[in-house]
């Protein structure tokens, strides 16, 4: 999972860096940009193992083609590396027809079926494969992309530069989001619509599943290469995306509000005499409001996030997640001591953060703690770009509801149902593989069989099969 950005049209490198900063919620491990130098026409790169603000660039320099990416490590290196060029996007390759630079949001599941080379990032694999296919098809990016979609399994939302044009395409299932829009000066492609909103671009479109779009100097050319049943990632709505983003015509904030209302209907007749609804900041705040409207119970921000810390879920290792979780939250005892509280969170994945929060609430004297989760129980590994590639690390995989309650030390636990999740989002063509174990792409299904047969022995990942 990453945040990706493309700009076609006259833009400063500073603007690219500012827009990329708006995607750091999708990746905080590394950042990078690529651009075509206006004088030499050479492809240029800048990468950092920090936020985009730390990119070393000439900010006033202007380019007509720019790419950017923020990294969330779900493939290859998960901790600090001395060679950032091996794992941080963008990646480049030279072909007989010109250089290609490329960024990707997603995960390729069959890298090691298609290549014997070891990669620290599947985006490096992608750019090398695209480069070889461009050579094979005599420089035709449309034919190259068509072949790519035929042979590559997984999720991908890709933006690239080739011959001073920007191209963008999305996997046939549309698992990861990708939008584009334009004004009189530039065309912008991004993982999320908030980037376009920042530029005042109110009209935008989805890059369709299986579609390739070419952004040229004076036109936008569309090619619908594949049409398949869609499988949009439900976790984008539950957790990952910015609440102000619109994905598949659905405002993420409104979806989260609906998720809370659906949970409220389930809890309405439980007679718990709850004093306050307490959101775990920040993602669950809209859902808490939805619960409040249904249950007629006030919301109190009894848990305050330390705003100077990063998102723990997308950190590089379990050790780092545990360390930061210990200082991530502050508490308001007035709304905790002696109170019956309904704590709302977007999901329970490993359970580390939930355990820490519940323990802290007990220390602050909570009388009763109930936990409402806006996502159904996550029981199965994700092979498409969310960092839980094995079942064993998931608390709901090895425990039933009562066991999870005991592990977390809570008085009640309410998960969203899959049907209510779909109702809240507003459509049913979703990827719910991590909830149901049903994977929407063919090689991921093979991986699942190998996993169940014991062929995946550790967290070294499905990508090595």
Cis status of the peptide bond prior to 282, with omega within 30 of 0: yes
**Local confidence band at 464 (pLDDT 50, 70, 90 cut-offs):** very low
Q: Can you give the pLDDT at residue 276?
A: 98
**Local confidence band at 458 (pLDDT 50, 70, 90 cut-offs):** low
For residue 440, pLDDT beyond 60:
yes
Residues of the chain with CATH 3.60.20.10: 2-231
**Rounded Cα distance, 178 and 170, in Å:** 7
- The CATH code for residues 251-439 is 3.40.50.2020
**Local confidence band at 318 (pLDDT 50, 70, 90 cut-offs):** low
Q: Which long-range contacts (CB under 8 A, 24 or more apart) does 96-99 make?
A: 96/135, 96/139, 97/134, 97/135, 97/138, 97/139, 97/162, 97/163, 98/139, 98/162, 98/163, 99/43, 99/161, 99/162
Q: Can you give the pLDDT at residue 217?
A: 87
Bridge partners (DSSP) of residue 68 are 5, 33
For residue 1, pLDDT beyond 70:
no
Q: Can you give the pLDDT at residue 376?
A: 98
Q: Can you give the pLDDT at residue 269?
A: 87
**Local confidence band at 81 (pLDDT 50, 70, 90 cut-offs):** low
Mean pLDDT of 258-263: 98
133-147 tens-digit pLDDT: 999 999 999 999 999
Question: ∠195-201-205 over CA atoms, to 5°?
Answer: 80
**Rounded Cα distance, 171 and 106, in Å:** 9
Q: Can you give the pLDDT at residue 42?
A: 92
**Local confidence band at 206 (pLDDT 50, 70, 90 cut-offs):** very high
**Rounded Cα distance, 288 and 281, in Å:** 10
* Whether residue 2 lies in the annotated active site: yes
Of residues 320 and 274, more confidently modeled: 274
Closest CA to 275 of 341, 332, 334: 341
For residue 320, pLDDT beyond 80:
no
Q: Can you give the pLDDT at residue 460?
A: 44
Of residues 312 and 268, more confidently modeled: 268
Indicate the pTM of the whole model.
0.92
Quick one: tokens of 372? 């409402």
Mean pLDDT of 375-391: 91
Q: How much of the chain exceeds pLDDT 70, in percent?
A: 92
* Least confident segment among 8-22, 322-336, 432-446: 322-336
Closest CA to 161 of 95, 109, 223, 77: 95
- Computed from CA positions of residues 76, 80, 85, 90, in that sequence, does the dihedral angle turn out positive or negative? positive
Q: What average pLDDT does the chain have?
A: 91
**Local confidence band at 364 (pLDDT 50, 70, 90 cut-offs):** very high
For residue 461, pLDDT beyond 60:
no
Mean pLDDT of 283-306: 96
For residue 427, pLDDT beyond 80:
yes
Distance between first and last Cα of the chain: 20
Q: Can you give the pLDDT at residue 328?
A: 81
For residue 85, pLDDT beyond 70:
yes
Q: Can you give the pLDDT at residue 120?
A: 86
Q: Can you give the pLDDT at residue 452?
A: 87
Residues of the chain with CATH 3.40.50.2020: 251-439
Chain CA centroid to CA 399, Å: 26
User: Which CATH class for the 2-231 domain?
Assistant: alpha beta
The residue annotated as part of the active site, out of 2, 233, 375, 434, is 2
């Amino acid at each position: 999972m990453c945040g990706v950005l493309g700009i076609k049209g006259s833009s400063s490198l500073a603007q690219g860096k500012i827009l990329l900063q708006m995607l750091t919620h999708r990746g905080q491990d590394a950042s990078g940009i690529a651009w075509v130098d206006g004088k030499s026409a050479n492809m240029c790169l800048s990468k950092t193992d920090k936020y985009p603000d730390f990119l070393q660039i000439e900010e006033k320099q202007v380019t007509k083609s720019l790419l950017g990416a923020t990294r969330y490590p779900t493939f290859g290196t998960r901790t600090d590396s001395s060679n950032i060029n091996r794992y941080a996007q963008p990646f480049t390759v030279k072909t007989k027809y010109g250089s290609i630079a490329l960024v990707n949001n997603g995960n390729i599941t069959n890298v090691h079926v298609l290549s014997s080379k070891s990669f620290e990032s599947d985006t490096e694999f992608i750019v090398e494969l695209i480069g070889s296919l461009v050579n094979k098809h005599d420089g035709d990016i449309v034919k190259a992309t068509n072949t790519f979609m035929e042979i590559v399994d997984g999720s991908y939302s890709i933006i690239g530069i080739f011959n001073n044009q920007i191209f963008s395409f999305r996997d046939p299932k549309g698992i990861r989001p990708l939008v584009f829009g334009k004004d009189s000066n530039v065309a912008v492609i991004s993982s999320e619509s908030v980037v376009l909103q920042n530029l005042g671009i109110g009209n935008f479109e989805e890059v369709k599943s299986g579609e390739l779009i070419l952004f040229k100097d004076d036109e936008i050319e569309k090619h619908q290469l594949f049409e398949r049943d869609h499988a949009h990632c439900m976790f984008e709505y539950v957790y990952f995306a910015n609440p102000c983003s619109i994905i598949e015509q659905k405002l993420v904030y409104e979806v989260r509000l609906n998720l809370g209302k659906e949970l409220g209907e389930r809890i309405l007749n439980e007679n718990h005499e709850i004093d306050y609804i307490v959101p775990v900041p920040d993602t669950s705040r809209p859902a808490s409001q939805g619960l409040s409207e249904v249950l007629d119970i006030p919301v109190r921000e009894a848990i305050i996030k330390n705003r100077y810390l990063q998102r723990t879920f997308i950190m590089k290792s379990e050790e780092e997640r545990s360390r930061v979780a210990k200082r991530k939250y502050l508490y308001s005892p007035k709304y905790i001591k002696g109170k019956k509280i309904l704590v709302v969170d977007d999901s329970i994945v490993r359970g580390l953060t939930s355990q820490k929060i519940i323990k802290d609430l007990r220390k602050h004297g909570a009388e009763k703690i109930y936990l409402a989760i806006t996502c159904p129980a996550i029981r199965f590994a994700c092979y498409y770009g969310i960092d839980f590639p094995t079942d064993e690390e998931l608390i709901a995989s090895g425990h039933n509801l009562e066991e999870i309650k005991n592990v977390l030390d809570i008085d009640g636990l309410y998960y969203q149902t899959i049907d209510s999740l779909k109702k809240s989002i507003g459509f049913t063509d979703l990827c719910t593989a991590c909830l149901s174990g049903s994977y929407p792409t063919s090689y991921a299904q093979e991986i699942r069989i190998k996993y169940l047969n014991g062929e995946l022995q550790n967290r070294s990942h499905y990508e090595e099969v």
